[in-house]
Amino acid sequence: MSILKVEDLSFSYDNNKLVLKNIDMDFSEGKVYGVFGKSGAGKTTLLSLLAGLEIAKDGKILYKDNDLSKINRDKYRSNEIGVIFQSYNLLPHLTALENVILSMDISNLKVKDRHKKAMQLLKKVGLDENKANRKILQLSGGEQQRVSIARALSYDSEIILADEPTGNLDKDTEEDIINLLINLAHEDNKCVIIISHSTEVKNRVDILYYLVNGKLAE
Amino acid sequence: MYIIKNAWKSITRAKGRNILIGIIITIVTISACISLAINKSSDTLVNSYKNNNPIEVSFQLDPSSLMNATTEEKESFETLTVDMIEEYGNSSLVSDYYYTLEASMSSDEINPVDYSTLTVDENAENENDSNRPKMDSGDFRLTAYSDFSYLEDFISGTKKITEGSMIEKDNTENVIVISEDLAEENDLELNDTITLYSNDEDTTYKFEIIGIYEDTSDVSEDSFAGMTSMNSRNQMYTNLTSLNEILEEQEDTTSENTKRMMSRNGLSAKFYLNDNDTLDEFEDEVREKGLSTYYSVNTNESETLATLEPIQNISNFSMTFLIVIFIVGAIVLTVINLINIRERKYEIGVLRAIGMSKLKVTAQLVSEIFIVSIISLLIGTSIGTLASQPVANMMLKGEIESYKEEVSNTQNNFGNGNFQRPSMNQNNNPIRKMAATDYVDSLSVSIDIITIIQLICVSMSLTLISGIVAVLSINKYEPNKILQNR
C-alpha cells in the first residue's frame, strides 16, 4: 500500500533552473527503495522535499494521501519520518544518548523509559554505553553516522529516509547497517528510502530509482 | 518539560556565553536594585518630610510697586487686616493658621539688655526669626500670637518659661512675659508692673509681668544690626487685645502714606495648607476675597525642600543612572543574543530539521535567557540589597559635602562668611539659607515587595527584549537553508 507518493513534481531553488522535473514516484510500506544518480542529479533535493524540509511548488507529495504542503510538517518530521542526514546533523553539545533522547522528546513518544530505549538503539547500531555517553565531537564520523541512524529509528516512524547512510562506514559496519535497514522494511514493515552511491546498497534494495539531470530515468 | 531540560543543558554546556549574559543582567539588576531602593526611600522620605513639615504660606507687601502706583491705585489699596486673615484662614484649603502682631516699644523705667552684658560667642550663627519687625525704632519688641503654640523658640526649647506662665489665648488684660536677662538687668520680678510707650511718649501702657523666660540662644553683635530691640532678650510677649490697642494708637499717629507702605504695623500671618499642591488654588481664593495684588503670596517651600535637595539629587541621579544602564544593558544583551543566535544557527537548523517547531525552539532559547535572568536577578538583588545602604550613604555624604563646599566657596568670594546683601533680609538670602540649611543627612534604604516587583519588571524587560531578538531571528531561518549552507 502506498504511503508516500510523488506526483508530477518539479522544483527549482529561487526560481532558477529546475532541479527536479516532472517526477512521479510511489513508496510503500515493507519495501526498501534506492534512489541513485550522479552528483547534482537532484537526489538531496528530492530527500529535502520528501522530508518536508522544502515545499513542492509544482506537483505534489502525498503522505497517506495528504498533501505534504498542507499538513503540519514539524509533526511530520518529528513523528512520521526518520531522516538520516548525510552530514549527520547532530547536536554537538549533547552526548550521543542525549541526541537520541531529544528526538524522542520532540516526537513526544509514549515510551516508559526513553533512556533505556535510546541505549538499546545505540547498541543496535554498534555503540556501547561508553560511546553513548560521549559528546558528538568525541566520536568518529562513522560513530556519528550510527548515532544519526539510531536517532532516525528512535520514534518508530513509518518511513525511514537515509541520505548516504553508509558513506562513512567500514565494510563490516556498512553490511550491518544495510541489514538493519532492510530488516526494518521486511520485518517491521517500514518504508525505507535510501539515497546512495553504494553498489552494495544498489544490490540489496527492492526498487531502484535513477535520477538523471533532475528527471527520473526508466 | 524537555524544553526546560534542554535549555538547562545548553546553559551548563555553554558556560562562557551564559556567564557573560549573567554578568550583564546581574550588573543591571544591582544597579536597578540600588537605584530603585534609593528612589523609593527618597520619595518616602520626601513625602513624609513634606507631610510633617507643611509649607508655610505668608503674604508680603511689595513697597516698591506700591510706591510706583498711581494716586488712584494707592487710594484703592486695602491693607491686610486681622479680619481678612481670619477669613482666609477659614478656607477649606487651610488646615491651620496663625498671625502675629508686633510693635516696637520704649520705656523710661527699664533699660534694654545690652549686647555687651551678654556672653559673646564669636562663632554663633545668626538667628532666623521671621517675626522680627521690619521697621524698628524702640528698645523692645512686643509680640502677640493668635496662637502661642506656634512660638517656635519655645517649641525648639531656645526659650523656656522659668517663672510664672505664658500668655493664655483668651487673656485680654495688660500682662507681659519678659526674659530673665531683662528682669535681672532691671531687678524685675513676677507681678511687677512695667510702663511702655510707643510712638507717643505721653501715651503709656502698664503691663503686669506674669511670666519670665530663659533665653539660651546664642547672640552676636551682628544679630542686632545696631538695634537693641533685635536682641531676643528684649523681646516681650503679650496678648492680641493689648497689642492691638497699641497698634491702633500707632496708626492714628502715622501718616496715611506711611501706613500704606506698611502691611499694617507688625501684622503678619502664616497659613498651613491641607495639601501643599493647592497653593495656586489658595492664592486664587484669597485674591478673589480681596487680597491686594501689592501683596505677594510667599511660601517657605524652597527652604523646606532645600534640606531635601541632596536626597532628591541622588534620587534623580539614581533614576537617570538606572535608565542609562538599562538602555546600555539592553543594547549589549541584544548584540550578544544576536551573535549567540548566529552562532547557534546550526543547532536551530538541526532542531527544526528533526521536527521541533519554531515556537518550541523560541521557547527553548527564551527559557535559557529566562533561567540566566532569574539566577542573575537573585544574585543581583542580594548584592543590591546589601550594597544599597552603603552606596546611598556614600552618595548622600558626597552630595552634602559638595553643597557645603559650594556655599563655602561662595562666601569666600565675598571675603567673609557673614556677607549679606543689604536689600535682603536673612530669610531671603540664598547664600545664608544654604549655609544655615540643616540637610537631611541620612537615608534609610530598604527593599520592599514593590521594589522587588519593579526589579523583576526590569530584569524581565531585558529578557523580553533579548527574547524578541531571538524570536525574530529564528523566524527568519529555514532549516534546510541553514543545513545546506553549513
Q: What is the 3-state secondary structure (H, E, C) of chain B?
A: CHHHHHHHHHHHHCHHHHHHHHHHHHHHHHHHHHHHHHHHHHHHHHHHHHHHCCCEEEEEECHHHHHCCCHHHHHHCCCCCHHHHHHHHCCCCEEEEEEEEEEEEECCCCCCCCHHHCCCCCCCCCCCCCCCCCCCCCCEEEEEECCHHHCHHHHHCCEEEEEECCCCCCCCCCEEEEEHHHHHHCCCCCCCEEEEECCCCCCEEEEEEEEEEEECCCCCHHHHCCCHHHCHHHEEECCHHHHHHHHHHHHHCCCHHHHHHCCCCCCEEEEEECCHHHHHHHHHHHHHCCCCCCEEEEECHHHHHHCCHHHHHHHHHHHHHHHHHHHHHHHHHHHHHHHHHHHCHHHHHHHHHCCCCHHHHHHHHHHHHHHHHHHHHHHHHHHHHHHHHHHHHHHHHHHHHHHHHHHHHHHHHCCCCCCCCCCCCHHHCHHHHHHHCCCCCCCCCCCCHHHHHHHHHHHHHHHHHHHHHHHHHHHHCCHHHHHHHC
Termini Cα distance of chain A: 22
Q: Is A133 touching B (CB cutoff 8 A)?
A: no
Enclosing H/E stretch for A167:
none
B2–A106 CB contact, under 8 Å: yes
Instruction: For chain A, give the longest Cα–Cα distance.
Output: 49
Nearest Cα of chain A lies from the Cα of B355 at a distance, in angstroms, of 4
Say if residue B204's pLDDT is above 90.
no
Which pLDDT band holds residue B262 (cuts at 50, 70, 90)? Answer: very low
Q: State the pLDDT at residue B260.
A: 47
Say if residue B209's pLDDT is above 90.
yes
Q: State the pLDDT at residue A189.
A: 92
Which pLDDT band holds residue B265 (cuts at 50, 70, 90)? Answer: low
Residue of A74, A90, A93 with shortest CB distance to B355: A74
CA distances from B193 to B113, B163, B178, B183, B205 (A): 18, 15, 11, 11, 10
Say if residue B254's pLDDT is above 80.
no
Q: State the pLDDT at residue B115.
A: 61
- Helices B309-343 and B358-413, interaxial angle, to 10°? 150
Say if residue A129's pLDDT is above 80.
yes
Q: Is A151 touching B (CB cutoff 8 A)?
A: yes
A106–B356 CB contact, under 8 Å: yes
**Parallel, antiparallel, or unpaired for β A66-67 and A215-217?**
unpaired
Question: Which range has the worst mean pLDDT, A182-191, B85-94, B162-171?
Answer: B162-171
Say if residue A29's pLDDT is above 80.
yes
C-alpha torsion B81→B82→B85→B89, nearest 10: -170
Distance CA A87, CA A89 (A): 6
B355–A91 CB contact, under 8 Å: no
Alpha-carbon B397 to chain mean position: 17
pLDDT in tens, B392-408: 777 777 777 777 777 67
Q: State the pLDDT at residue A118.
A: 94
CB-based burial, A86-101: b 16+ in 10 Å, e otherwise: bebbbbebbbbbbbbb
Q: What is the pTM of this model?
A: 0.64
Say if residue A180's pLDDT is above 60.
yes
Q: Is A156 touching B (CB cutoff 8 A)?
A: no
Nearest Cα of chain A lies from the Cα of B367 at a distance, in angstroms, of 16
- Starting from the edge strand earliest in sequence, which strands make up the sheet with A159-163, in order? A81-84, A159-163, A191-195, A32-37, A207-212, A215-217
Q: State the pLDDT at residue B401.
A: 77
Residue of A48, A87, A98 with shortest CB distance to B480: A48
CA distances from A166 to A153, A179, B173 (A): 15, 11, 120
Say if residue A151's pLDDT is above 90.
yes
Determine the average pLDDT of the residues in A94-98.
94
Q: What letter does residue A71 receive in the DSSP assignment?
A: S
Chain A residues touching residue B350 (CB < 8 angstroms)? 89-91
Determine the average pLDDT of the residues in B226-234.
77
Q: For chain A, give the mean pLDDT.
A: 90
Nearest Cα of chain B lies from the Cα of A128 at a distance, in angstroms, of 23
Q: State the pLDDT at residue B119.
A: 47
A89–B353 CB contact, under 8 Å: yes
Residue B221 has φ and ψ, to the nearest 5°, of -55, -35
Q: Are B177 and B166 in contact (CB under 8 A)?
A: yes
Nearest Cα of chain B lies from the Cα of A94 at a distance, in angstroms, of 8
Which pLDDT band holds residue B221 (cuts at 50, 70, 90)? Answer: low
Say if residue B366's pLDDT is above 90.
no
Hey, of A93, A99, A156, A157, which one would you mutate to test binding to chain B, going by the most B CBs within 10 A of its CB?
A: A93
Q: State the pLDDT at residue B212.
A: 93
A75–B480 CB contact, under 8 Å: no
Determine the average pLDDT of the residues in A2-11.
92
The letter for the amino acid at B308 is: L
Q: Are A192 and A184 in contact (CB under 8 A)?
A: yes
Superfamily of domain A30-43+72-217: P-loop containing nucleotide triphosphate hydrolases (3.40.50.300)
Q: State the pLDDT at residue B386.
A: 87
Say if residue A142's pLDDT is above 80.
yes
Residue of B355, B358, B483 with shortest CB distance to A75: B355
Hey, of A45, A46, A63, A78, which one would you mutate to test binding to chain B, going by the most B CBs within 10 A of its CB?
A: A78
Distance CA B343, CA B109 (A): 100
Q: Is A53 touching B (CB cutoff 8 A)?
A: yes
Instruction: Compute the C-alpha angle A48/A50/A56, nearest 5°.
Output: 80
Q: State the pLDDT at residue B415.
A: 57
Alpha-carbon B257 to chain mean position: 39
pLDDT in tens, B18-41: 898 889 889 888 888 888 888 888
CA distances from B382 to B34, B395, B460 (A): 11, 20, 17
Query: Which three three-digit cell numbers place residue A186?
Result: 521486511
B354–A53 CB contact, under 8 Å: no
Q: Is A86 touching B (CB cutoff 8 A)?
A: no
Half-sphere exposure of B37 (CA within 13 A, CB side): 27
Question: Which range has the worst mean pLDDT, B73-82, B209-218, B335-344?
Answer: B73-82
Chain B residues touching residue A83 (CB < 8 angstroms)? 353-354
Neighbours of B30 (CB within 10 A): 24
Say if residue A114's pLDDT is above 80.
yes
Say if residue B117's pLDDT is above 60.
no
B350–A107 CB contact, under 8 Å: no
Say if residue B420's pLDDT is above 50.
no
Determine the average pLDDT of the residues in A102-130.
90
What percentage of chain B reaches a pLDDT higher than 90?
A: 11
Distance CA B140, CA B113 (A): 9
Which pLDDT band holds residue B304 (cuts at 50, 70, 90)? Answer: confident
Chain B residues touching residue A98 (CB < 8 angstroms)? 9
* Radius of gyration over every alpha carbon of chain B, rounded to an integer in angstroms: 34
Nearest Cα of chain A lies from the Cα of B485 at a distance, in angstroms, of 12
Q: State the pLDDT at residue A86.
A: 86
Query: Closest residue of B to A14, CA-based?
Result: B481
Determine the average pLDDT of the residues in B406-435.
52
The letter for the amino acid at B316 is: N
A83–B351 CB contact, under 8 Å: no
Enumerate the β-bridge partners of residue B142: B103, B236
Distance CA A42, CA B112 (A): 117
Query: Closest residue of B to A154, CA-based?
Result: B354
Distance CA A60, CA A65 (A): 10
Nearest Cα of chain B lies from the Cα of A157 at a distance, in angstroms, of 12
Q: State the pLDDT at residue B74.
A: 75
Please indicate whether residue B170 or residue B259 has the higher confidence score (pLDDT). B170
Q: For chain B, give the mean pLDDT.
A: 79
The letter for the amino acid at B322 is: L
Chain B residues touching residue A78 (CB < 8 angstroms)? 354-356
Q: What letter does residue A95 receive in the DSSP assignment?
A: B
Distance CA B306, CA B373 (A): 40
Determine the average pLDDT of the residues in A13-32.
88
Chain A residues touching residue B14 (CB < 8 angstroms)? 93
pLDDT in tens, B271-301: 988 887 888 999 999 999 988 888 889 888 7
Q: State the pLDDT at residue B433.
A: 46
Which pLDDT band holds residue A160 (cuts at 50, 70, 90)? Answer: very high
Enumerate the β-bridge partners of residue B271: B57, B97
Say if residue B222's pLDDT is above 60.
no
Say if residue A199's pLDDT is above 70.
yes
Say if residue B482's pLDDT is above 70.
yes
Hey, of B15, B348, B354, B482, which one would you mutate to test binding to chain A, going by the most A CBs within 10 A of its CB?
A: B354
Residue with cell 502691611: B263
What percentage of chain B reaches a pLDDT higher than 70?
A: 83
Q: State the pLDDT at residue B305.
A: 73
Q: State the pLDDT at residue B177.
A: 93
For chain A, the domains span 30-43+72-217
